[in-house]
Structure 1
Amino acid sequence: MLRPEGILALLDSRSFGSIWFWVILMLAWTMAGRRVLGVPSDVIAGAVGTEPGPEDDPAALTLLDWLSLTLPRWRIDQREGAILLGLGAFLLTALTVLGFGYGLEMAQALVLLVLPFALLFALELRLARRLRAVLARAEVGQPVNEAGAEAARLMRRHKTAAVAMSILAVALTAFYGAVWMIAHPFGF
């Protein structure tokens, strides 16, 4: 049977002093920057330079095909969204209270790791909604090259925001981790 002391002892383990925390942080942000909504970066880059013309550009077609395959996974109705938002807010609030209210290092590290990804997830849901509109216009007659260029533009802008967010998140986590290690040299 799990005891509350055992759970709190697990949450209070050294995070900022562990190499594994930093490896996980870097690996998570590296993996987050490789794809946008499941579409590889090279597919997006190929569709960026598409220009309007009489023939459909294969790069724009490829991007729109990828979007038609990946966007249905990003569809969340209102009920699912409310449940997801409530659960996520509860977990983040609980970790924040445990970490910054009670001073548990592991909970602080988890907040610094999970909170930026929650913001990135919200941005990805917004991007998916915008791209569904672009894909719908392409299905009813908008030229493929225009739809591909618009989708690529939206996705590149999102990727730029995600890279900026990752740099900021890693820098803030590293700064906070350094301050924590200076203030708590023996871990307590």
Structure 2
Amino acid sequence: MNWYETVFELIDMRSFSNLWFWIALAVLWSSTSHWVLGVPWDMVTRARKAERTGEDDQSVIDLHDMVRINTNRILYIMRESGLLASGFACFILTATFMLGFYYRIEFAQAVFLLAMPMSLVALLSFWSARKIRLREMQGALLYRQMHRHRLVTQVIGMVSIFITAMWGMLQNMTLGVLGG
């Protein structure tokens, strides 16, 4: 096997049989559940602990500042370009769905199975940011909302990984039976 064949075998466009796709899927959902509204989860737990014990007020202030900055940013983006971004996202999702499942392009299937659940997380982030801003959440109420947001994100991730794994196995078995 020469160098050219080795490189193209390593970056094979058959996504579901490629180790890199599964690594990307794991990293995507790991980082998505760690960053809640753009705030690292360890920052939320540190602030919650600090507020409960009455020590290290700076971590509570830092968390509230980060949440305020990120919710303002999310709401600003949605206010200024939300309609355009939504239309573009719907176009991309529809195009990848059609390419993947109607025209049977495996790479498009993989992109759709990554992008569709992430669009749900984006919607969830907008709703959470809006709720935090409208109710001016602070303290325990804010921690509860952040925890709820993370939990729903993790559920979306688990369902997404399950569906992707089942579809990937079906694709690999089908292509294995048909001979490539």
TM-score range, shorter chain: 0.7 to 0.9
Counterpart residue number, 1:99:
100
Check if 1:65 corresponds to 2:62: no
Quote the offset at 1:44 in angstroms: 1.4
For residues 112 and 149 of structure 1, what CA distance do their matches in structure 2 show?
35
With structure 1 as the length reference, what TM-score do the two structures score? 0.78
Quote the offset at 1:63 in angstroms: 2.2
- Kindly report which structure 2 residues correspond to 1:15-34, keeping only aligned pairs within 5 A, or say none: 15-34=15-34
Deviations 1:114-169 (A, max 9, x none): 1000110110011111112244x7xxxxxxxxx21111110000101111111111
For residues 158 and 68 of structure 1, what CA distance do their matches in structure 2 show?
16
For residues 60 and 129 of structure 1, what CA distance do their matches in structure 2 show?
21
**Maintained 8 Å contact 1:48/1:153:** no
Unaligned runs of at least 5 residues, structure 2: 1-11
Counterpart amino acid of 1:64? H
Counterpart amino acid of 2:19? I
Counterpart residue number, 2:120:
119
Q: Match of 1:184, SS? A: helix
**Maintained 8 Å contact 1:127/1:158:** yes
Q: Match of 2:13, SS? A: coil
With structure 2 as the length reference, what TM-score do the two structures score? 0.81
Counterpart amino acid of 1:24? A
Q: Match of 2:62, SS? A: helix
Question: Considering only aligned residues, what root-mean-square deviation do their CA atoms show, in Å?
Answer: 2.3
Which structure's residues are more often helix, by fraction?
2
Counterpart residue number, 2:168:
177
Q: Match of 1:16, SS? A: helix
Quote the offset at 1:72 in angstroms: 2.3
Counterpart amino acid of 1:123? L
Report which stretch shifted further, 69-78 or 178-187. Answer: 69-78
Unaligned runs of at least 5 residues, structure 1: 1-11, 138-146
Deviations 1:54-84 (A, max 9, x none): x998254332122223222212344511101
Report which stretch shifted further, 75-84 or 86-95. Answer: 75-84
Summarize the Cα distance change of 1:165–1:22 in structure 2 as closer, same or farther, 3 Å threshold: same
Quote the offset at 1:104 in angstroms: 0.8
Quote the offset at 1:25 in angstroms: 0.7
Summarize the Cα distance change of 1:69–1:152 in structure 2 as closer, same or farther, 3 Å threshold: same
Summarize the Cα distance change of 1:182–1:118 in structure 2 as closer, same or farther, 3 Å threshold: same
Counterpart residue number, 2:90:
89
For residues 105 and 179 of structure 2, what CA distance do their matches in structure 1 show?
10
Summarize the Cα distance change of 1:28–1:77 in structure 2 as closer, same or farther, 3 Å threshold: closer
Counterpart amino acid of 1:84? A
Quote the offset at 1:33 in angstroms: 1.2
Counterpart amino acid of 2:166? F
For residues 78 and 69 of structure 1, what CA distance do their matches in structure 2 show?
15
More RCO (CA 8 Å, sep 6+): 1
Aligned residues: 164
